[in-house]
Amino acid sequence: MVEKKPLDIREMNEIVNRESLFIEVIQRELSKKVIGQKNMVDKLMLALLSHGHILLEGMPGLAKTLTINSLATALKCDFQRIQFTPDLLPADIVGTMVYNQKDGDFKVKKGPIFTNFVLADEINRAPSKVQSALLEAMQEKQVTIGDKTYKLDEPFLVMATQNPIEQEGTYTLPEAQLDRFMMKIKVGYPSKEEEIEILKQNSSSFKSTIEPVVYKETIVKAKELVKQIYMDEKIEQYIVNLVFASRFPSDHKMEQLKYLIAYGGSPRATINLALASKANAFMRGRGYVIPEDVRSVCYDILRHRIGLTYEAEAENITQDDIITEILNNVEVP
C-alpha cells in the first residue's frame, strides 16, 4: 500500500481556504432566523467539524432548539428532539426489540437517536441510566439493541441542554458523561439591538425560512480535511502544558490554584483541545493552527473538566477563573 504524501503548509492553506467557504454560506443562512447567538452557531459548527458533541447551559428561550433545527435544515440533515424527563427509559432513546405477532418474531424498533442531529433537551432531568444511554452513541457512533450493533449515519451530533437555575427534580451529570461532551457552552442573553430585531422578526407576518444550502456530504468531506490541518510540535506541547496545568498547577508555578482544583482535565481534554483548534483554524480558512486557535476554544473544552474544591466554591471562584489564570501563566509558543 502506497502511503499518501502529506501536503505542505502552503498547499494545505490553499485547499482549506477554498473548501471552508461553505461555513460563511451556512452562517449567512442561519442569520435569517437565529439572531444574537453567533457564538452558539460557531461552536455548533466547530463541534460538527471535529467529531464532537456540545453541552449548552442557558436559560429557556435563548434559541437553542431553533439553532440546531435550523442548522439541520441548512445541511439537509435529519433532526430529532428528545425531551428528558424523570420517567424516560433508555429504550425511549436508543430503541428496543418489539414482538411481531404476525411473524412470530422480534423486530428492532429504532429510537430517535438514529438521526443526524439530536437535541437532548434538559438532559439533567432524567436519571443516570437514561443519560448513559447516550454514551455509546456519542463515543462510538453506534447503538446496540439486543445482540446487534447499528452504525449511526454521518454527520452525527448531540446537543444537550441544561438549565443553570432550576435544580429541583434534576440529576447531576456524572463526570464520565460530562467528559464525553467536547464542549460546554454558556449561552447568554442577546443585546438590546439584537432583541429589537428578534421582536420585529416574531411580530411580523413575514416569516423567514431556512433553505438547504450545503449537503451533508460536504460536512463529511470537511471533517476529514480538518484532521489533516498542520499542527506544529510547539503547539502540541502548549496544549499538553495547558491540560497538565489544570492537574498539577504547582508544577507550573501556580501554587494559588493548588487548593482550588479537585481534579483537572483528562487525556480526552488534550485530544479535544487539539481537534477543536484544528476545526477553528479551518473555519478561519487556515491550513495550520496558531496559539490563538487553542486559546479561543480552551474555555469551552476545559470548563466542564475541572473539578472545584470546597474552598473554591466558598470563595465563588469558577472554572472560567481558573482557566483564565492558567492561560495567563502557561508560556505561549
Q: What is the pLDDT of residue 3?
A: 47
Which residue segments constitute the domains of the chain, with CATH numbers given?
Answer: 19-216 (3.40.50.300), 229-329 (1.10.8.80)
Task: Look at strands 142-145 and 148-151 and give their pairing.
Answer: antiparallel
Q: What is the pLDDT of residue 298?
A: 94
Which stretch of 44-53, 124-133, 227-236, 237-246 has the lowest confidence by average pLDDT? 124-133
The answer to whether residue 174 scores a pLDDT higher than 80 is no
Q: What is the pLDDT of residue 2?
A: 41
Place of cell 449537503: 215
Residue 276: closest CA among 247, 305, 245: 305
Strand partners, 307: 263
C-alpha cell at 202: 416574531
Q: In whole angstroms, give the CA distance from residue 19 to residue 222.
A: 7
CA distance 273 to 261: 19
**pLDDT bucket at 297, cuts 50 / 70 / 90:** very high
227: Cβ contacts below 8 Å, ≥ 6 apart: 278
In this predicted model, what pLDDT tens digit does every residue of 140-164 receive, in sequence order?
888 888 788 888 888 888 888 887 7
Q: Are strands 157-162 and 54-57 parallel, antiparallel or unpaired?
A: parallel
pLDDT in tens, 22-73: 888 888 888 888 888 888 888 989 998 998 899 988 887 788 888 888 888 8
Is pLDDT at 125 greater than 90 in this prediction? no
Instruction: Look at residue 302 and tell me whether its pLDDT is greater than 90.
Output: yes
Give the pLDDT confidence score for residue 1 in this predicted structure.
Answer: 41
Is the pLDDT at 261 greater than 60, yes or no? yes
CA distance 327 to 312: 18
pLDDT tens string 175-223:
777 888 899 998 888 888 888 888 888 887 777 788 888 888 888 889 9
For 280-308, what is the mean pLDDT?
92
Q: Are 282 and 20 in contact (CB under 8 A)?
A: yes
**What ranges in the chain are assigned the alpha helix state H?**
9-19, 21-30, 38-49, 64-74, 91-94, 128-131, 135-140, 175-178, 192-203, 216-227, 233-247, 267-283, 291-302, 310-314, 319-329
Percent of the chain exceeding pLDDT 90 equals 21
Confidence at residue 167, expressed as pLDDT on a 0 to 100 scale:
64
- Report the relative pairing of strands 261-263 and 307-308 from DSSP bridges: antiparallel
Please state whether the predicted TM-score (pTM) of the whole model is above 0.85: yes
With a pLDDT cut of 70, the percent of the chain lying above it is 96
Determine contact, residues 269/302, Cβ cutoff 8 Å. yes
Host H or E run for residue 102: none
What's the pLDDT score for residue 168? Answer: 65
Q: Among 184, 171, 99, which Cα is nearest to 128's? A: 171
Does residue 263 carry a pLDDT above 60?
yes
- Give which of 97, 88, 78 is closest to 133, Cα–Cα: 88
pLDDT of the residue at 7? 60
Tell me what the pLDDT averaged over the chain comes to: 86
Q: Name the least confident of 70-84, 93-107, 212-226, 279-293.
A: 93-107
Q: What is the pLDDT at residue 166?
A: 63
Measured CA to CA, the distance from residue 293 to residue 277 in angstroms comes to 5
CA pair distance 302, 115, nearest whole angstrom: 28
* DSSP sequence for 260-302: TEEE---HHHHHHHHHHHHHHHHHTT-SB--HHHHHHHHHHHH
